[in-house]
């Protein structure tokens, strides 16, 4: 008998970081913008780039490549860089990506489970999708930054604003 979830879909924003393709779950994303000027804050974690002001709101910005340990460089146009604005409850944060591609709908039955690797933090990876462009790692934006890190970064950003 066919699984009742086999006809359900999840939507993802396709982005590129380094030379890798990722799908960010659309449920946590509020908008995507061109890369603005980012104001760095002293004594911040390596993955934290600084803050931006978006329509009067101070938003902390995270470097997705640094957070995920991606070292290879993007070979595309640097003007493709953008910030994906995400929301966790009432907190906003931005994720810098090398390119924002498109929005896709993926049939849930086409999403493969994440292999469990020892000593690796893959909790933010929700699955893997094999599409026309190859393998796409599916990410839950709300899990990229641990809640205590995000709270500390937001509090620091508010003090600096």
pLDDT digits (tens, 9 = 90+) for 53-108: 999 999 999 998 988 888 888 888 888 899 999 988 788 899 999 999 999 999 88
| Structural domain that includes position 46 | 4-160
Q: Tokens in use for 5?
A: 């979830």
User: How many other C-beta atoms can be found within 10 angstroms of the C-beta atom of residue 62?
Assistant: 25
Three-state secondary-structure class, residue 159: helix
Q: How many domains does the chain have?
A: 1
pLDDT exceeds cutoff 90 at 147: no
What's the CATH number where 140 sits? 2.40.50.180
Has this prediction a pTM greater than 0.85?
no
Residues near 4 by Cβ (< 8 Å), separated by ≥ 6?
none
């Amino acid at each position: 008998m066919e699984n009742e979830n086999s006809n359900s879909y999840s939507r993802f924003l396709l982005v590129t970081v380094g030379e890798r393709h990722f799908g960010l779950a659309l449920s946590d994303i509020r908008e995507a913008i061109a890369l603005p000027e980012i104001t760095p804050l002293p004594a911040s974690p390596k993955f934290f780039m600084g803050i931006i002001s978006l329509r009067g709101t101070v938003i902390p910005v995270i470097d997705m490549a640094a957070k995920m340990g991606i070292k290879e460089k993007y070979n595309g146009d640097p003007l493709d860089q953008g910030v994906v604005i995400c929301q966790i409850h009432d907190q906003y944060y931005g994720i810098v990506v090398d390119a924002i591609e498109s929005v896709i709908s993926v049939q849930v039955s086409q999403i493969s489970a994440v292999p469990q690797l020892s000593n690796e933090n893959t909790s933010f990876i929700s699955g893997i999708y094999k599409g026309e462009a190859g393998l796409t790692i599916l990410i839950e934006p709300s899990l990229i930054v641990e809640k205590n890190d995000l709270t500390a970064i937001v509090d620091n950003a508010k003090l600096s604003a």
